[in-house]
Structure 1
């Protein structure tokens, strides 16, 4: 039975108030949180849901045992080993498989609230869910419980070695354990176990799709993917077995035996492993796993070759930002453009590039820049090309996959707003119009990087996008009814009509964003299907 006790803590404020900090009796044990100071909600921070095995830190984690006493959930979740993106320093430890729960004060056993689970992005190499990065106050005010989880990134989460001990996708399997913990425990926090929506951005969005593709049980009812898809180019590992050998050699341990290299790295300080991985330019990516008896798998074939049965009857909200790759080209020095080999380099991420395919590169080149030589005058054209190939078209492929597999309702959006809280553009001081990759995060979360209150225009976007997202969480429909805040009806797509909501200074509905460019890629992929990496003819 759901029980919440309250502990009286006297505060030294001028008003002499008494603060009520919640103590929750969950299947995982007694968990004490604390009251938030920026809204009407409680926080339960740094709750461990799994443990990394000391003798196999690159392998699957194990579920957290029940707490013996009262777990103090007042400290933010720990960071998994990585190069932290804000200070560019190596941080983290392996006791990082923790989650944060933010529960509105209205949540109770008599008033169960829908649950929104956040999976962060970061290319499977960086990222964590600190309260001070993903501040919850904009979302929880809409009466939803927000849960933000950490998972292993980098080599500890994504070594793919084709062995039973380290088959691959350990970081995704961490997420599975977190989702199981949430299903087993969230009712104790006033959550509705039958209304769990999993949301992710970039690698987090791709993670959501991997869970829909996987063979494990379905652990959520709805999905939101932001700028993420399993069809993103370059997402899947191609040769993972060499990585431990290269990292170990970089640290002074030369061997041709993968098992020896892994044993050496398992005893090496995590910060040295991350430093070597970074210096070698090694990326972390999911992989197609070799199957082993009694070993759970996430992905055993390329996403394009398999069905997604767990999508059936699942409402999904999917979209991208209108200028995903804006920042890279906006910041590029003018003289660098003439040295780019952008079309070949980009197409190689998705296609087997041989002499036969070279003429295809010329077709793409002419479509986007005609016969022009590469120069800084073509920044906008190249931004369109890279954004289309890396995000807009892969997400259109995901939409098709959802429809083919019987998703209940698929809501499609494009985020185009350019304001003072565009997360990435503001950090790197890019002022070009449009929304770059991850820019929407500044309107969903209260970010630690923001020191000034939102402008009136930005506040309107915050109010709108959080209302749309939480309406979907609560009702499976982002606009169950129109209002002054949400004046347009956002309808789901069909095989005939890809209706989408454009989220800008105003809200507007259209069909098939960038339809001419998307039609080009649809035809291009169909003609060159046999050249797609991982393609298997049925």
Structure 2
């Protein structure tokens, strides 16, 4: 019996497949899970604490031991609503700047690398919110996911020495520098790094593309359902935002800017993150605690409006796979009954904060989408199109136009339109639509609540295969449909802003995307656009969030 137990113990030990990899801070140990080695929760930087909590990250400490790189569920401070929704048990901590690396079971080296920036409106989420094992399996690709500071913790922007702004974006730059320095030890090519992200992750990677701080750290970009020019991508007025959020947290002395800063530096993280979800549910769709224009102190991530950077052409024009889902506005479908009534009463509440419109122009916008009769359940698709355009589609197409005018000639544009029979109908209709970041969920494993592809209908599994193949082609070759591919030809966008690929069953190449709606908003933004501003040390007179 003793001999049998010893033999069993030896077999179990031999069957545990792991790798130990050196990093700049010390060795890490990851394990094989179904053909993919996972290295979880590796510190890539250290968030400062106490009164320095809003400053840029510090270097990660060195370790004299092998780190067991297993999933501990570490997330940055944020509201817990998403955890409850997804039934996840996580560890919220200030010491949250960790990276996860997933590598195929191969001895090959110099593999292409995909770095994914998670979404969540800059206030929720974490690197493991979406996994990519099915993208990796059977392919030569390394995927990197990570956490960055969120909400006020990552994006309070007072323009002071202790709260200069953009700590969350500087975390992302620190991560890219860490990947550049360490990924070769995991089998990756430090000179072939693609950055991707959905929603706020898309705005992040687009901003990384425009920021001088991150140049040379990647060579391809995939913004999925988001853009740097979106009204929610950069704070329109950081001091006003800080004051309004402090009011949400029941701080009454917000007009005193010294007291305001002291409040943020001393309030608990539980309180600091408690109202983040409220920021994501505003009528004007301009999430307010996000990146900002900086001034004053230290190294700066962003000092100029993304629109001006794009128009100047002074940024690295790396290849882009750029697009969105057909009905991004479905993210607002569950509040249609309440918001349609609000729209009838005061439509101006739903105008993005980066526009300064008179009443006549506000009425023009309303009539373009809804006509002259009241907004009721017969107009829910118009409601979805309206939010699709102001939140995602028009900022993407506006950015595209500026990229092309600046001479960028390697952008591959798409609209993800695929739906299947398990997708619920839009309320009050017999219509289905591709929801916010639908393409992101097709590239990743399952969706946010299921990780097994087997739960999906056959046609959905096939579309996942196709979408992953398009993305993998772009990651490895710089174009989604390389020469010799079985897919339809997909050239980059030209000066006429066409073509674009409709990602559906079947794939279909078309000309200008949403031309009428784009022309409509072009006219309005050319006349009424308000650039974001850096912190201004004075009490704002803007209306409430």
Which residues in structure 2 correspond to 1:519-538 (within 5 Å)? 519-526=519-526, 528-529=527-528, 531-534=529-532
Tell me, in whole angstroms, the C-alpha distance in 2 between the residues paired with 1:63 and 1:86: 29
Aligned match of 2:284? none
Aligned match of 1:3? none
Paired residue for 1:82, among 75, 78, 83?
78
Provide Cα deviations, 1:435-467, integer angstroms capped at 9, x if missing partner: 111222331112461265332101111111111
| SS of aligned partner of 2:201 | helix
TM-score (norm 1): 0.86
Aligned match of 2:370? 369
Aligned match of 1:44? 39
Which stretch shows the higher mean deviation, 259-268 or 44-53? 259-268
TM-aligned CA distance change 1:35 to 1:285, over 3 Å: same
Tell me, in whole angstroms, the C-alpha distance in 2 between the residues paired with 1:535 and 1:50: 29
Which stretch shows the higher mean deviation, 495-504 or 148-157? 495-504
Q: Which has the higher contact order (CA 8 A, sep 6+)?
A: 2
Q: Which runs of 5+ in 2 are unaligned?
A: 1-6, 282-286, 535-545
Which residues in structure 2 correspond to 1:15-94 (within 5 Å)? 18-36=15-33, 38=34, 40-55=35-50, 56-76=52-72, 78-84=74-80, 85-87=82-84, 92-94=92-94
Which residues in structure 2 correspond to 1:309-348 (within 5 Å)? 311-329=315-333, 332-333=336-337, 337-341=340-344, 343-348=347-352
The Cα shift of 1:230 comes to 1.2
Aligned match of 1:221? 219
Question: Is residue 299 of structure 1 aligned with residue 302 of structure 2?
Answer: yes
Please state which structure has a larger fraction of its residues in helix: 2
The Cα shift of 1:420 comes to 6.7
TM-aligned CA distance change 1:445 to 1:348, over 3 Å: closer
Aligned match of 1:409? 410
1:138–1:462 CA contact under 8 A, matched in 2: no
Q: Which runs of 5+ in 1 are unaligned?
A: 1-9
Which stretch shows the higher mean deviation, 497-506 or 301-310? 301-310
1:352–1:533 CA contact under 8 A, matched in 2: no
Which residues in structure 2 correspond to 1:263-302 (within 5 Å)? 263-275=262-274, 283-292=288-297, 295-302=298-305
Tell me, in whole angstroms, the C-alpha distance in 2 between the residues paired with 1:346 and 1:189: 47
| SS of aligned partner of 1:517 | helix
The Cα shift of 1:429 comes to 13
2:117–2:145 CA contact under 8 A, matched in 1: yes
Tell me, in whole angstroms, the C-alpha distance in 2 between the residues paired with 1:49 and 1:421: 40
1:312–1:407 CA contact under 8 A, matched in 2: no
The Cα shift of 1:263 comes to 4.1
| SS of aligned partner of 1:196 | strand
2:18–2:30 CA contact under 8 A, matched in 1: yes
| SS of aligned partner of 1:362 | helix
Aligned match of 1:455? 457
The Cα shift of 1:165 comes to 2.1
Tell me, in whole angstroms, the C-alpha distance in 2 between the residues paired with 1:473 and 1:348: 34
Tell me, in whole angstroms, the C-alpha distance in 1 between the residues paired with 2:219 and 2:267: 41
Say how many residue pairs are matched. 509
The Cα shift of 1:336 comes to 5.4
The Cα shift of 1:150 comes to 0.8
Provide Cα deviations, 1:24-73, integer angstroms capped at 9, x if missing partner: 1233321111111x3x2201100111111123112211121332221221
Aligned match of 1:481? 483
The Cα shift of 1:106 comes to 1.9
Which residues in structure 2 correspond to 1:59-458 (within 5 Å)? 59-76=55-72, 78-84=74-80, 85-87=82-84, 92-108=92-108, 111-130=109-128, 133-141=129-137, 142-218=139-215, 219-241=217-239, 250=249, 254=253, 257-275=256-274, 283-292=288-297, 295-307=298-310, 311-329=315-333, 332-333=336-337, 337-341=340-344, 343-353=347-357, 357-419=358-420, 432-446=431-445, 447=447, 449-450=449-450, 452-458=454-460
Tell me, in whole angstroms, the C-alpha distance in 1 between the residues paired with 2:429 and 2:15: 46
| SS of aligned partner of 2:177 | helix
TM-score (norm 2): 0.85
